[in-house]
Structure 1
């Protein structure tokens, strides 16, 4: 089953084998349209922004947890109460965000299944050349690599620059956690870009070179 907002799957092979010429041409047109739509939804800039939006909301929740850690370290009764409130607010943001992320993962899997299914419908190496283009995969890889690199820098810099008496455990934990959110987000984007490009290269091989007679 697919999500209701996604295109339908292609007809089964026995049904396709019984189509007449006009129906085959219509199916080919549907294939091109649906493949373009699925690639836009799966690897378009909007999808990358959605991944970053999920990470940003999760980071907001972690910021509230970080404020709770800093409050707990003061060991003042009122600060402990404030810290408990911040911790509850952070959990209230992070837990729904985790469910949101799980929904996005399930939807991505549904789109990948549809991409593979429609790619197998009457493939045309010459017409499918645009699907082998690494443009969007490269865009995802560069943007995600920059986010991952910045996250690694924040995490390791927070640990390396910590000084006893000057830096609290709460500050270090918050910065390392924030950096971890960034580099995990970047690695997810890099993994998706690499997996999509490998699949496209295997699923849509270039047409064989033309043989010219002498």
Structure 2
């Protein structure tokens, strides 16, 4: 058993599923983000900075508006937990079910049951202090969980590194597959604009871009 006084946070630690559940349910980790995969757990307790929270908002707005304009059925989750019981669990910054066939998970205090509802089609991690882990160990977690697409946002670089997941692996893409026609470059442009534009101005630009209308000067 991983003893309370020996618990190491913000790193991957060998643990059983039962040990993970004990740690994840500790009151002091109520605001932490919890991951479990391949016999290891990671409890993230690092504070979220301004850059992380702003980029999180931009990505949520971008995906939601794209779905609205293109008439794509979407259900989003912010910091939601997704659990394949006994095997793995994750808590991405953003996750989306996309398409005509998914069932909307009910509102409960429990993680979304992946065995019942499937993995989200798109998972997004905003990386301000966790970039290497998001591109490495977590990428493997999401591949094994069964997401169709995984994006990592490098807050410092303003870069979106997007992967299509298939056949047990992943490859980098420049245009979304689950949101057809959405170029990764457009998302990066939105992140750049968000540094100087308020949300209303940015959203109007996104709507004009997605609908094919030129921005009026």
TM-score normalised to structure 1 length = 0.20
TM-score normalised to structure 2 length = 0.20
Higher relative contact order (CA 8 A, sep 6+): 1
More helix by proportion, 1 or 2?
1
More strand by proportion, 1 or 2?
2
